[in-house]
């Protein structure tokens, strides 16, 4: 899929450029994207630690910033369990990442981050992701955000645009994946 190639290409660039820091995914669900990220880290022989974060109880309650006439996601949707995530990795023989259960705002993150993938679907989840990850980004880091500009999930773009409005960065997007270079 085009999204996967774009995200993995960005991760590969940070590995090639030897950007310092670990790799994080906020909103891993059952691990569909996480398995590609971990496989790339393994393929490239990277010693970076990969951390995945999820509530494992589904999406939080949407806020007014998420209101859209064609919103398709609601509180509790996309719930997965930690055992489902682990079993998915075991099924494909891929190293299990460090798993963190809880809301993004309540988590501990690596001191330095070279690559981040945000897939929080709602405004507050993306805002919490930025607030926690942004101060830890290494120079040259890349943050990719899923569903940026996707009409049913308007809160994603709102949170990104609001958080980044006064910060220097290069931003572009392609088929609902925003890429920010720092």
pTM of the model: 0.94
**Three-class SS state of 12:** helix
pLDDT interval class at 182 (50, 70, 90): low
Give the pLDDT confidence score for residue 120 in this predicted structure.
Answer: 95
Residue 41 and residue 44: Cα distance in Å, rounded?
Answer: 5
pLDDT, tens only, 99-148: 999 999 999 999 999 999 999 999 999 999 999 999 999 999 999 999 99
Residue 72 and residue 91: Cα distance in Å, rounded?
Answer: 30
pLDDT, tens only, 144-176: 999 998 889 999 999 999 999 998 777 777 667
Output the DSSP codes for 43-87. Answer: HTT----EEEEE-SS------GGG--TT----TTTT---HHHHHH
pLDDT, tens only, 60-73: 888 889 887 776 67
Give the pLDDT confidence score for residue 175 in this predicted structure.
Answer: 66
Give the pLDDT confidence score for residue 112 in this predicted structure.
Answer: 98
Exposure letters 143-167 (e unless 16+ CB within 10 A, then b): bbbbbbbbeebbbbbbbbeeebeee
Residue 57 and residue 75: Cα distance in Å, rounded?
Answer: 9
pLDDT interval class at 76 (50, 70, 90): confident
Q: Which two tokens stand for residue 25?
A: 């995914």
């Amino acid at each position: 899929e085009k999204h996967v190639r774009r995200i993995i290409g960005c991760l590969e660039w940070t590995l090639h450029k030897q950007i310092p820091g670990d790799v994080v995914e906020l909103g891993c669900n059952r691990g569909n994207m996480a398995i590609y990220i971990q496989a790339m880290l393994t393929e490239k022989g990277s010693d970076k630690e990969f951390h995945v974060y999820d509530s494992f109880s589904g999406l939080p309650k949407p806020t007014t910033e998420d209101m859209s006439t064609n919103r398709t996601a609601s509180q509790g949707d996309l719930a997965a369990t930690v055992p489902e995530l682990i079993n998915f990795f075991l099924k494909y023989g891929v190293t299990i990442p460090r798993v963190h259960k809880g809301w993004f705002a309540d988590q501990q993150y690596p001191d330095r981050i070279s690559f981040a993938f945000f897939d929080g679907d709602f405004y507050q989840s993306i805002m919490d992701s930025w607030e926690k990850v942004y101060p830890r980004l290494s120079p040259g880091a890349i943050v990719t955000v899923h569903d940026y500009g996707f009409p049913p999930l308007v809160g994603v773009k709102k949170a990104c645009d609001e958080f980044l409005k006064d910060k220097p960065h290069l931003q572009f997007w392609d088929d609902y994946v925003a890429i920010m270079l720092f």
